[in-house]
């Protein structure tokens, strides 16, 4: 485990692979942690990559440097954290890979600072930048039902529930988002302590309340949010991976996100895989990342 001061955080991270290898930054989602990339990092390191796997804000040992910093979970904060992490480590360019919250951070940096990104593997939602201005529009009932946890987190009952029962809530989410992933008690036990971070609940609640436009974000990120509201294209080489069994964001037959990518782009749907794609199908993730290294 390593740690570095980056922006408003002390970010704790694992580093796997040769120091001189091409850097790959691997970003976990909610409610997971860096163990989602254990197999991926080992395989990529074997191919000569330098893998950097940080705990996001609100997870594991990552901490804020100041008690006065707003505990924001908004998308711009996640993107800013990733950029600060790269700057702190003097990583000029890197391959980025992520899913869920981590995929959002990767998409944001790829869209707004493409000169820093050699390639992107985006899992789940391919174009994972939130359209907050239109978030109020209702979806079909079957889709709304999958978002039960978002509505739960808008309530005081949800705050208390996540505070008191975070293990139960998060483990249930694992099971319904990845119904074909039969994870062991040991796999769960490796990640569960990451949710004991003292800022976990506040950041999760802020993330889901902000994305619907219900509460303000941190003013420090207003400039980034304004750029994201324009729905910027992603120009870097990108491979989108989607688990066919994803219980919260199942892939549609039609690719609705492709229009946001203007460079090399490939979309792959992975059978027998749910939402936590890197941990469930590490071979598919590694193959996608290695493919990007061949794109010119």
- Residue 7 has a pLDDT of 98
Please report, for the chain, the start and end positions of each structural domain, with discontinuous segments joined by +: 2-292
Structure tokens at 267: 């979309």
Helices assigned H by DSSP within 147-199:
148-152, 156-164, 166-177, 185-191
Confidence at 296, pLDDT banded by 50, 70, 90: confident
**Taking 90 as the threshold, does the pLDDT of residue 207 lie above it?**
yes
- Residue 48 has a pLDDT of 98
Closest CA to 166 of 120, 116, 200, 142: 200
Contact between residue 249 and residue 240 where contact means Cβ atoms under 8 Å apart: no
Q: What are phi and psi of 268, to 5 degrees?
A: -130, 130
Contact between residue 210 and residue 70 where contact means Cβ atoms under 8 Å apart: no
d(CA 91, CA 74): 24
**pLDDT (average), residues 61-85:** 98
d(CA 222, CA 228): 10
**pLDDT (average), residues 137-150:** 96
Give Cα separations from 235 to 5, 70, 239, 256, 267 (angstroms). 29, 32, 12, 17, 15
Q: What are phi and psi of 16, to 5 degrees?
A: -135, 135
d(CA 92, CA 154): 38
How do residues 233-286 score in pLDDT, each as one tens digit? 999 999 999 999 999 999 999 999 999 999 999 999 999 999 999 999 999 999
- Residue 133 has a pLDDT of 96
Give SS3 for 129. coil
How do residues 106-136 score in pLDDT, each as one tens digit? 999 999 999 999 999 999 999 999 999 999 9
What CATH class does 2-292 carry? alpha beta
Percent of the chain whose predicted confidence (pLDDT) is above 90: 100
Q: At what angle do helices 38-46 and 282-292 cross, to 10 degrees?
A: 40
Rg, Å, the chain Cα set = 18
**pLDDT (average), residues 147-170:** 98
List the end-to-end C-alpha distance of the chain, in Å, as a whole number.
34
Percent of the chain whose predicted confidence (pLDDT) is above 70: 100
**Taking 80 as the threshold, does the pLDDT of residue 25 lie above it?**
yes
**pLDDT (average), residues 219-244:** 98
């Amino acid at each position: 485990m390593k740690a570095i001061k980056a922006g408003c955080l002390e970010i704790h991270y694992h580093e796997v692979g040769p120091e001189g290898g091409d850097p790959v930054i691997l970003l976990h989602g909610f409610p997971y942690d860096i163990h989602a990339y254990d197999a991926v990092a080992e395989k990529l390191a074997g191919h000569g990559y330098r893998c950097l796997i940080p705990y996001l804000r609100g997870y594991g040992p990552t901490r804020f440097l100041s008690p006065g910093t707003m505990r924001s979970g908004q998308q711009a904060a996640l993107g800013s954290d990733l950029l600060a992490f790269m700057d702190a480590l003097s990583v000029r360019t890197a391959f980025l890979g992520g899913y869920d919250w981590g995929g959002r951070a990767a998409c944001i940096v790829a869209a707004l600072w493409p000169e820093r990104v050699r390639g992107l593997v985006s899992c789940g939602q391919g174009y994972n930048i939130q359209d907050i201005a239109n978030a109020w529009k209702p979806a079909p009932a079957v889709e709304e039902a999958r978002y039960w946890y978002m509505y739960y987190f808008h309530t005081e009952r949800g705050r208390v529930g996540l505070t008191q029962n975070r293990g139960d809530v998060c483990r249930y989410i694992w099971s319904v988002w990845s119904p074909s992933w039969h994870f062991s008690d040991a796999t769960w036990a490796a990640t569960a302590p990451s949710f004991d971070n003292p800022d976990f609940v506040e950041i999760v609640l802020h993330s889901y309340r902000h994305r619907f436009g219900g509460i303000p974000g941190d003013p420090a990120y207003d400039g980034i949010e304004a750029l994201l509201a324009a729905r910027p294209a992603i120009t870097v080489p990108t491979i989108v991976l989607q688990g066919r069994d994803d219980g919260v964001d199942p892939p549609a037959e039609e690719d609705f996100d492709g229009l946001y990518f203007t460079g090399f782009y490939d979309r792959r749907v992975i059978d027998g895989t749910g939402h936590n794609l890197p941990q469930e199908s590490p071979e598919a993730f590694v193959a996608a990342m290695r493919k990007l290294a061949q794109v010119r």
